[in-house]
Structure 1
Amino acid sequence: MSKIKICGLRRMEDILTVNEILPDYIGFVFAKSARQVNDETAEKLKSALNHHIKAVGVFVNDSIDHIVRLYDKNVIDLIQLHGDEDPEYIHQLKKKVSCPVIKALRIQSAEDIHQGKVYECEYMLLDTYSSHQYGGSGEAFDWTMITQMRKPFFLAGGIGIDNVEKAIHMLNPYCVDVSSKVETDGWKDPNKMREIIDKIRNLS
């Protein structure tokens, strides 16, 4: 069964909901975004998070020092790089942390997926390409472009209750990554989060 990550948590009520429904991962977005949290808020939310749930820090072209500080303070358990970070950046980062790294690829063509081979990371994340933002578009890309993925991958981009079953049956991703499709008016919706968790678990 694919694991699930609920990304873009910002409020204590979000934490209370996920502590009840127990996704495998949650995401704190530190990059400029409608879902951005600052370090202090993330630290407070992480302190209340059920220890069975892993917190992923989402960064876009951030400084390695900033990421390492959050890791050393136990605010994040995994690192997701969603910008233009190159292999050397990841190599230097991994000298300073021992946690898994997820490198996001923004997919326009099958060739974009093949670029993932050059990265020293444990997981890939496949998201929809947008010319004006690094992620969070809420739109799905053409999944037929995903072939011969050698690394386990997170599937992002417009995943919701309407297409998560198709995504899992078609691609068997390591993890599905949901965000905007479990929101109402820009905020995480407890009922939508419960619904998609139940849907995924019932698939097994």
Structure 2
Amino acid sequence: MKIKICGLFRDCDIDYVNEAMPDFIGFVFAKSRRQVSIEWAEAMRPRLRSEITPVGVFVNESLAKVAKLLKDNIIAMAQLHGEENENYIQALKALTNKPIIKAVRVLSCEDIVAAQHTLADYLLLDNGAGGTGESFDWSLVRQVKQQKPFFLAGGLKADNIEQAIAATKPYTVDLSSGVETDGMKDRDKILEIVRRMRNG
């Protein structure tokens, strides 16, 4: 089971993940309280351990901007949360040949089924628009014959992560607010969740 810690925005957050060693981390370039600048991400990228894959999170961003971040190796994957269509995804893949994650707002089984045909390499199943800290009905995932590997997001934390994995069997679990205290990434929570996942 792979682990992603999303929404790093302080220098010390890089230290925390370097210590914990999740598989992926997320830099949010979209408008959010966790939004980071390209300059900050570029400065942090060399500090991030090479074993950790940095993912850029975008909402309806220009193709050129996302492609440049990928080509400059500031991020290694793009996570798309907006209305980006298949033409956009196809163009981004042609420009960069880098993996793409397409977020899906899960309100029904049909949302998951419809997303299976995307050109994106992975899906990210989330509640609503994302970043809400709330989970969706995990039983919906079981009702769909999964074809694409998916990241599971939305309200995941230490006290429900095992239940979430058992219910959905994701490729990766994606945590943000669940490893925060008072809106800031919490070193102890990050270390604990990664330790539990690795040893579990």
TM-score range, shorter chain: over 0.9
Q: Among residues 134, 139, 145, which one is paired with 1:144 in the alignment?
A: 139
TM, length-normalised to structure 1: 0.95
| RMSD after superposition | 0.8
Q: How far did 1:148 drift? A: 1.2
1:79 corresponds to which residue? 78
Rounded Cα–Cα distance in structure 2 between residues aligned with 1:9 and 1:117: 29
Identity among equivalent positions (%) equals 51
Per the alignment, residue 23 of structure 1 pairs with 22
Q: In the aligned structure 2, how far is the partner of 1:186 from the partner of 1:87?
A: 34
**Runs of 4+ off more than 3 Å:** none
Q: Which residue of 1 aligns with 2:103?
A: 104
Aligned-partner Cα distance in 2 for 1:19–1:64: 30
1:171 CA displacement? 1.8
CA offset at residue 50 of structure 1?
A: 0.2
| Aligned equivalents of 1:108, 1:171: Cα separation in 2 | 15
Query: 2:44 is matched with which residue?
Result: 45
**Structure 2 unaligned spans of 5+:** none
SS at match of 2:134: coil
Structure 2 CA distance for aligned equivalents of residues 199 and 12 of structure 1: 25
Question: Offset of 1:145 from its aligned partner?
Answer: 0.5
* Partner of residue 163, structure 1: 160
2: distance between equivalents of 1:128 and 1:194? 25
Inter-partner Cα distance in structure 2 for 1:67 and 1:74: 11
Spell out the pairing of 1:1-204 with structure 2 (5 A cutoff): 2-129=1-128, 134-146=129-141, 147-203=144-200
| Distance (whole Å) between structure 1 residues aligned to residue 47 and residue 125 of structure 2 | 29
